[in-house]
Amino acid sequence: MKPVPQNILVGFNGLLKQRKVPPVLLADYRKWLRYFLDFRTKYPLPGTPSDQVRLFADKLRSKNQTAGQVEQAADAISLFFASRTESKIDTSLGAAGTPAATLLGRQFEGNGYEDRNSASAKTALQMVCAPPGGFQFAPPERSGRRYDEWRCLRKTEAPAWDSVIEKLADQIKVRHYSRKTLKHYADWGRKFQNYLKDKDPGELSSQDVKDYLTYLAVECKVSSSHQNLAFNALLFLYRHVLNKDFGTHKDIPRAKTSNYVPTVLSRKEIDSILVHLRHPFKLVGQLQYGCGLRISEGCHLRVKDFDFDTGMLTVRGKGNKVRTVPLPKTLFPELQAQLEKVKKLHDEDLAAGYSGVFLDDQLEKKYPRAAKELIWQWFLPQESLTFISQTKESRRYHVHDSRMQEVFGEAVRKAKLTKRVTSHTFRHSYATAMLQAGYDLRTIQTLLGHADIRTTMIYLHCLPPKPGKEVKSPLDF
């Protein structure tokens, strides 16, 4: 890919400075311009700038770029057209080189900046975000495989239900439940609202819950786990938000929990997946199998969680429960190399004047300098900074869980295993390997962070039969 010609870059940089684009975003804006110019040389495009922006945005979505990235790219290209008229653009740019599709595979989480005053910017952004039937200045709920997971918190045409969902969110936040719990409970609340066709929340009864759970099981044929999740969400809604009688548990139909046996991989199968993972996702997979981490626990690690002197890792799991696990000694060189990368990136961020990493709750108010201190930096940071439009700050986020799941799924397909494998399978394999090594269930329960020993006991079903006690089929007698 050829660099942007100097005559184009000068005008583009001048407009970026005029619009006061934050310095930390300048590299991203120039990057989108390079990609767009390369895109123009590879595909026949219409003459109007608006159509070119729309097609470029469609290409970004096909590469699974987020809505924020597409919006940022559209703003960059609209500034490009504002700096040079179409008649002055050199269409001979970008001969053979690295395909734009390859470069667009990188993950960025920047959300762009909020200066949308120019007509060209508004036109481009409206076109990028508009559905086929008309124009709206809002991103679509779905873009390829990505969609707005928090659409359940948006306003609807039923103000009474909007108030209920707001109270639901408040009750969950007061109890310091996880963001996933908030998302799932609010989502089931909206589904319940849709089933009842916006029935007044003040008129709800326990019979409505019975009818809805029966509908889920009979008409929708949902799994038992989905039905039980809906039950728990509605139970919380009735008890803590609506303050209504939910009825006795005997009156509410509940699905029987399935006898689930986790999938477990051998060491050879683990290695066949890891070989197809690139950095830093490979390191997350190694920590999952080497320490028994959940995918969220692996992505959310900070520098201060690693103690190389004692060889221990501090893990903050579900419900903010903290545990310590031993670090694999074979990973020490890779972990220390990653730590050096984090230190170098931290120095570059400080020189660029960034505002620090994201911290939980009100921790930054208690420790005002913590966000910029090395020990609080993410051990697996995101490649680009995230711009917060409300505070005009640029902050660093960690590698996102969903991105790790996508990359892991690709690695599993390349490994061509005959088992159903997810990233959580590495955690199952860790527990089973520890059982085979002779560790007792109580120790493994502590290492995995299980609240109930019965959750750990499920891995007893994954153990192979002991030598001399193998159960044989009558056909093998």
Residue 351, judged by CB atoms within 10 A of its CB (0-12, 13-18, 19+), counts as exposed
- End-to-end, the C-alpha distance of the chain in Å comes to 67
- 294 an active-site residue? yes
Q: Which of 294, 302, 395, 398 is catalytic?
A: 294
CA-based nearest residue to 10, from 35, 43, 33: 33
- 300 an active-site residue? no
- 459 an active-site residue? yes
Residue 384, judged by CB atoms within 10 A of its CB (0-12, 13-18, 19+), counts as buried
- 428 an active-site residue? no
- 424 an active-site residue? yes
> E strand or H helix at 288, and its extent?
helix 281-291
Neighbours of 334 (CB within 10 A): 16
Q: Which of 59, 61, 398, 450 is catalytic?
A: 450
Cα separation, 265 vs 408, whole angstroms = 15
Full DSSP string of 330-358? GGHHHHHHHHHHHHHHHHHHHHHT---B-
- 427 an active-site residue? yes
> E strand or H helix at 142, and its extent?
strand 142-143
Distance of CA 83 to the CA centre of its chain: 35
Q: Which of 116, 199, 318, 341 is catalytic?
A: 318
Q: Which of 59, 427, 428, 430 is catalytic?
A: 427
- Phi, then psi, of 131 in degrees rounded to 5: -75, 165
Strand partners, 147: 142
Residues forming the active site = 294, 318, 424, 427, 450, 459
